[in-house]
Amino acid sequence: MGKRRIGILTGGGDCPGLNAVIRGVTKTAITKYGLEVIGFYDGFQGLIENRFTLLNYETVSGILTQGGTILGTSNKANPFEHFIMENDKQIVKDVSKNTMELYHDLGLDALITVGGDGTMTISGMLGKIGANVVGVPKTIDKDLMETDTTFGFDTARNIATEAIDRLHSTAQSHHRVMIVEVMGRNAGWLALESGIAGGGDVILLPEIPYDINEIIQVVRQRSRFGKRFSIVVVAEGARPEGGEQVVKKVVHDSPEKIRLGGIGHTIAAQIEDATRIECRVTILGHLQRGGTPTPLDRILATQFAVKATELVMENQFNKMVALKGNQITAVPMEKVMGKQKLVPVDSDLIQAGLAVGTHFGKKLQ
């Protein structure tokens, strides 16, 4: 009988710490359990298109500190909704049966999937049709349910906070309003935590629709009482009361068709028109995803990787690794599928912000 074999893929958007997970799973599987590890290229796309490689010590040597993922990723691939061209028309097909055939042909005992809410939802669906799946939570948005945090978030928060810090000096020098647009489609954790850490005067979250008149009033009051600059931190998914999110473009062959971006420019134009104070917009975009992961993210990613491999050996499948307090544990995948952890309006962080004078785009109790 041959060696037991597991697979691993990284799905969704890239983020710092993915390589640490690949390294952690591969080294734990080989050293502690004598397993073979198959890496699938470009997330679920590799599973769909039969693209994979055997991972070994040499493959994962030296990747702990690297951002991104050596396996590549895709935020479009979904075996249950695969876009193909047929007779010059784009159609959607369910190719999950084909992916399961490859899963069995490779003799996989389990598949470790590393990703966010979309990846966990697809993973749970694969579990329901026969795959032994273990999920590892990754996202810079920290919006996955059932885990206190995800790896990738700390690095993104550091990057966003450093950007806000740097913009403070030029805002003060030129007496401008600096608007920093960070990622966060539906969940505002990144804007909230980097905004508080960076001393943002106004923080706008998807969970709290804003009143532009309130924002304008904050800027005017600061200017009137000698604060001749303001810092506004805005999540890309923020929207005005009664209004819509700002859509940058629509990607039709993606499960997440809407791409957000540009809310910072909208707010800047409105503030300038009302106050005649010059505004500048910085959109951090993919800078938040790139670069070397922080020590915290490297450690958390490694702990998640070791736990995921342990779950495989214990035959605990269709579960996601999670951080609860100081404990690395596991939760049923079904509790994560199709859900997002949003910022509660009464969260302690928002209350702390209010206490030090931070405004959240509307009056809060």
Q: Which residues are catalytic?
A: 141
Place of tokens 């791409």: 259
> How far apart (Å, rounded) are the C-alpha atoms in residues 235 and 244?
13
CB-count exposure of residue 328 (10 Å: 0-12, 13-18, 19+): middle
Q: Which residues contact 329 (CB under 8 A, 6 or more apart)?
A: 307, 321, 322, 323
Concatenating the DSSP letter of every residue in 40-90 gives ETTTHHHHHHT-EEEE-HHHHTT-TT--S-TT---SS--TTSEEEEETTEE
Closest CA to 336 of 321, 348, 351: 321
Closest CA to 233 of 262, 200, 190, 261: 200
CA distances from 128 to 58, 125, 147, 300, 309 (A): 34, 5, 22, 28, 20
State which amino acid sits at residue 127: G
Closest CA to 193 of 150, 242, 222: 150
> How far apart (Å, rounded) are the C-alpha atoms in residues 210 and 82?
37
